[in-house]
A and B are shown apart, each in its own frame.
Chain A
Amino acid sequence: MMRKHIEIGCLFLLLGACQEIKTNFELPILGRNQIATKEVNGIFIKDTIPHRIADFSFINQDSAVITNASFKDKIYVADFFFINCPSICPEMSKQMYRVYEEFLENENVGLLSHTIDPTYDTVAALANYARLLGVSSPKWEFVTGDKDQIYDIGETSYMVVANEDENAPGGFIHSGAFLLIDKERRVRGVYDGTIASQVDLLIKDINRLLSSYEQ
């Protein structure tokens, strides 16, 4: 009888192992806080300001200007890529496409891919890329712009590596990270865009973040 109980216990343990562990936590707010000091009526007041994505202005695949306002009231996933990238970008595009399909009908979610090779990846090249991939704006924005501005926002706002490097495959060094940005322009998650299981987690976290706005 006892043995039977143990066996049934084992069974549940195994069944449980197949399932994800359910967690009910809030996503962290990533990045370094800044302490700002301001003077109010002669008194200095210190205030904690969380890390936020800086103001930006880029051009998308349809020649439209894309700014922070384009993602107003949306959460979005950002990444950095270039079309002639021989290494990780094809996998990143494939994984980002999964996110695209998953949230195609949800207008609260957007995707933002920055090219780090604006010399080659013109608006026309990006439009062709989006067409071949079968995706469109405004769900998935492919943006180009001033090279230094792209590298700068990558490294200071999204906290990922994006730069030229003649020793890297294709001539550019960049991270394969997907960044989850909330409606307050804060970074809420970093995922490896070349690993399917990481993107599974991203999709779950997007849903988690979305539901936090519904409460």
Chain B
Amino acid sequence: MSNNYLFLFFYLFLVLSCNSYQKPVESQLPENLDEAYKMKYTQYLIQGKILYNTNCTHCHQNSGEGFRKLYPALIGSAALMVDMSQAACLIKYGTKATRKALNQNIAMPAQAELSNLEIAEILTYIGNSWGNQSGFISVSQVETLLVDCATY
């Protein structure tokens, strides 16, 4: 009997080893949040991930690692960590808005069709995933961040 189980486990092991298992990337939520805030935060992270997968993964890749020097990594990105308005402007208007700072790279396309809410969700997701810790970005924050895009 125990021999049979041993075989069963061995088969299972073999079957599983045929598939490559990808570890899911967890987004991080700060501790000690009140329930309502935590729920909204989580909602933004989930929506942000969906939007990210549709609009951003082609270039920035599934886990924000980017590709070669063509598509910058979002992990530890200065635009997300230091100057969030640069990230917001890049998403909305592409590199035309930030041409001065990024003239060495290839252009990032504008995504003018994204609403401020969607940008907030994307920023919240990419700002708090893969080790990034930029905290929650609200819609009203995005409105402020987008005010000075022309100056880039």
Contacts and interface: CB of A to CB of B under 8 A. Distances in A.
Nearest to B59: A90
Interface string B34-49: 0000000000000000
A90 B109 CA distance: 13
Interface string A1-25: 0000001001100110110000000
B9 interface: no
Looking at A88, A94, A131, the one whose CB has the most chain B CB atoms below 10 A away is A94
A155 interface: no
B14 A90 contact: no
9 contacts: A18-B18, A84-B106, A86-B58, A90-B67, A90-B70, A93-B70, A129-B70, A132-B70, A132-B106
Interface size range of chain A in the complex: 20 to 34
Contacts of A119: none
- Mostly, the A contact residues are helix
A83 interface: yes
Contacts of B105: 132
A211 interface: no
Contacts of A86: 58, 109
Interface string A105-138: 0000000000000000000000011011110000
Given A18-B17, A18-B18, A97-B68, A87 B58 contact: yes
Interface residues of B, number: 18
Given A84-B107, A132-B106, A170-B109, A90 B71 contact: yes
Given A18-B18, A84-B107, A129-B106, A134 B58 contact: no
A91 interface: yes
A90 B61 CA distance: 9
A191 B87 CA distance: 36
Interface in A80-101: 83-84, 86-88, 90-91, 93-94, 97
A131 B18 CA distance: 37
Given A84-B109, A90-B59, A91-B58, A10 B11 contact: yes
A213 B71 CA distance: 38
Interface of B: 7, 10-11, 14-15, 17-18, 58-59, 67-71, 105-107, 109
A7 B70 contact: no
Contacts of A91: 58
Looking at A87, A129, A132, the one whose CB has the most chain B CB atoms below 10 A away is A132
A11 B106 CA distance: 52
A15 B70 contact: no
B67 A93 contact: yes
A18 B68 CA distance: 32
A151 B137 CA distance: 45
B108 to A, nearest CB: 9
A72 B11 CA distance: 50
Interface string A129-169: 10111100000000000000000000000000000000000
